[in-house]
Amino acid sequence: MKYKLSPIFIFLFLTSTLWSQQTALSYEVLENNIKTSKSDSIREIYASTLLLKAKKENNVLKIADGYNHLSEINSHTLSGLKYADSIIDLTATLINSKYPAEGYLQKGIQLFYLAKHNESLDNYIRALNDFQANNNTYGKVRVNHYIGLLKNSINEEKEALEIFKKNISFFESSKNKHLYKRQYLKSLFAIVDSYNRNKILDSAEIYGRMGIKESFQSHDKYLYNYFLLSYGSTKTFKGEYKVAIDSLIKGTKLLTNEKLVIAGSYLILSQAFEGLKEYSKSLLYLDKVDSLYQKNPETIFQAKESYKILLKYSQKENNPQKQLNTIKKLLKVDSIINVKHNQLSKNIVKKHDTPELILEKERIIKQLNNSYSLSKNKIIILSIVIIFLIIILLYSIRKSIINKKKFEIIKAKINSDVKEENKENLIKVTTTTTITTGIPEDLVKEIILSLEKFESSNKFSKKHYTLNTLAKELKTNSTYLSKVINATKEANFANYLNNLKVDFAIKRLSKNKQFRAYTIKAIAEDSGFNNAQSFSAAFHKKTGIYPSYFIKELNNEK
């Protein structure tokens, strides 16, 4: 006789076996298994195993982690709320960067999904205060995420969008995006939904596509169904109804306990079918929202929207009884929402927005005080900088005036073209040189006359001369030539040659506009210098200004 084991027996057997094996695993391995498992039922086994291990070892923080995982896995249910309460009971007296704040946040999340919004806000604020006290930036990002969702529920969509934008900026760091992948996907979904609510549809579609891709690539396809739904919403608002319906139906089939999301999906599907003029299907999904609300009061906001649309349909059908029934339902949910809505709105302003403004005020005051304490130093530094700039300016003006005078002196010398070539002057120079050098007078006279011929020939600009080569050309010895140059030109041989070349360049530049258009290097080479640097140095040494300035002033003359 053959016996078949029931599926439930097999499951229980495998579960108990797995459980007994996992209790020996480390917390790190268990945490990783919870994170990477694709099935919630398997994740729950690992989370329960972690909790059991922590209780055996009396590890309070790990016990809290176990409850936290179980609350997340059982989200949208009373069990999720129960586990959150267990975290708070266990860690209420701890001083820790994670707990009890994490417990209050988790409780707020579960209360939000159960439509207990005021209680949800109270827990968010407790969590936010604890995270702020412990400088837990990531914790604050998560709390603000859910406060943004609360703002959406009271039609403060613009304020919610600003919160989600700020949160998304936290994940611009690839490190944060990788480290907090699930919250990143939540923030991505929230901003898509927020763009949809604010009818910024192009941005919604861009982020929606991004969300579909990234959630699909995650190990457990976390929020993939949500991104399909939000993409369907975007396409509905854009009037692309067939694409929208396809995405919405796919996303809805993947939902399980998320009654709020299912109700929202039905509403959008109703709108999409109405866009295609398939009114019977549109009505079908509106009725589904009504049926869902009867068993799940947390879907009250979606129910209100469905009743408003159903009322329009009944008016078109001219069905008074149906109109009356729908109006009664609408008035009932309105009365409930108004009480909760008004109180929630006041509470958000009082408990979240106002404290945020106070913190901002304190930050600005502190910033102003710091600015004031630094102002004296800034004034002193600024004064020093201004004085320094004035000195530089005065120096530049003075230098410009001096350079201008030097330029005028050079021009005047060129224009006068005075040459001390008369016989009387030659005799005087010859006599003085003879006395100074001890060289016979006739030799001095001969060398001076030879130098004058050499200077007027401009050979120095074409040929490289040394003292010996010039002495040989002038048919004298280098010692006599050096002494005569020193006595008559008041310069050594090298400076004498450089001065001749500079004078040659000055005269040519003054008369020849085309020569001025040459580069400094070309002018230097045409004047007998080896390079631009030696030419500029010699020019400045003789005149007190640089050739570039001299050329600029010549070109500025009318």
Does residue 555 carry a pLDDT above 70?
Answer: yes
Q: Residue 100: what are its φ and ψ, rounded to 5°?
A: -85, 5
Cβ 193 vs Cβ 152: under 8 Å: yes
Nearest to 154 by CA among 117, 200, 182: 117
What's at 93, amino acid-wise? T
194 in a structural domain: no
Kindly state the DSSP code that residue 48 receives in the 8-state scheme.
Answer: H
499 in a structural domain: yes
> Rounded to an integer, what distance in angstroms lies between the CA atom of residue 71 and that of residue 64?
10
486 in a structural domain: yes
Here the tokens at position 341 are 């809505």
DSSP states of 297-327 as a string? GGGHHHHHHHHHHHHHHHHHHT-HHHHHHHH
Write the Ramachandran bin of 187: left for phi over 0, alpha for psi from -120 to 50, otherwise beta: alpha
548 in a structural domain: yes
What's the pLDDT at 368? 41
The CA angle 35-41-45, to the nearest 5 degrees, is 70
CB atoms within 10 A of CB 376: 9
Cis check for the bond before 100: say yes or no (omega within 30 of 0): yes
Helix H or strand E encompassing 212: helix 201-217
What average pLDDT score do residues 192-220 get? 92
What's the pLDDT at 216? 93
Here the tokens at position 150 are 């609360």
Here the tokens at position 138 are 């990531």
Cβ 228 vs Cβ 267: under 8 Å: no
Does residue 366 carry a pLDDT above 50?
Answer: yes
Task: Kindly report the average pLDDT of the chain as a whole number.
Answer: 80
Here the tokens at position 390 are 């004035």
More confident residue, 260 or 18: 260
Q: Select, from the ranges 3-12, 39-48, 489-498, the one with the highest average predicted confidence (pLDDT).
A: 39-48
Please give the share of the chain, as a percent, with pLDDT higher than 70: 83
Here the tokens at position 554 are 């010549």
Only one residue has tokens 């007190």, namely 544
What's the pLDDT at 266? 92
Cβ 185 vs Cβ 215: under 8 Å: yes
414 in a structural domain: no
What's at 519, amino acid-wise? T
Domain that holds residue 458: 423-556
What average pLDDT score do residues 32-61 get? 90
Q: Residue 491: what are its φ and ψ, rounded to 5°?
A: -155, 155
pTM flag (> 0.75): no
More confident residue, 442 or 67: 67
507 in a structural domain: yes
Task: Specify the CATH number for the domain of residue 494.
Answer: 1.10.10.60
> Rounded to an integer, what distance in angstroms lies between the CA atom of residue 22 and that of residue 44?
12
Cβ 101 vs Cβ 87: under 8 Å: no
Here the tokens at position 481 are 């030539």
- Number of domains comprising the chain: 1
73 in a structural domain: no
State whether residue 94 is helix, strand or coil.
coil
455 in a structural domain: yes
What's the pLDDT at 241? 95
Kindly state the DSSP code that residue 487 receives in the 8-state scheme.
Answer: H
> Rounded to an integer, what distance in angstroms lies between the CA atom of residue 449 and that of residue 309?
119
CB atoms within 10 A of CB 260: 21
Report, in angstroms and rounded to the nearest whole number, the Rg of the chain calculated over CA atoms. 47
What's at 118, amino acid-wise? N
| Interval 96-144: pLDDT, tens | 888 999 999 999 999 988 878 888 888 999 999 998 888 899 999 999 9
> Rounded to an integer, what distance in angstroms lies between the CA atom of residue 547 and that of residue 536?
6
Cβ 289 vs Cβ 260: under 8 Å: no
| Interval 495-509: pLDDT, tens | 888 888 888 888 888
Q: What's the residue count for the chain? A: 558
Give Cα 510 distance to the centre of its chain.
Answer: 58
What's the pLDDT at 370? 58
> Rounded to an integer, what distance in angstroms lies between the CA atom of residue 546 and that of residue 542?
10
What's the pLDDT at 324? 80
Q: Give the CA distances from residue 192 to residues 16, 114, 237, 328, in Å, rounded to whole numbers and listed in that order.
A: 42, 23, 13, 34
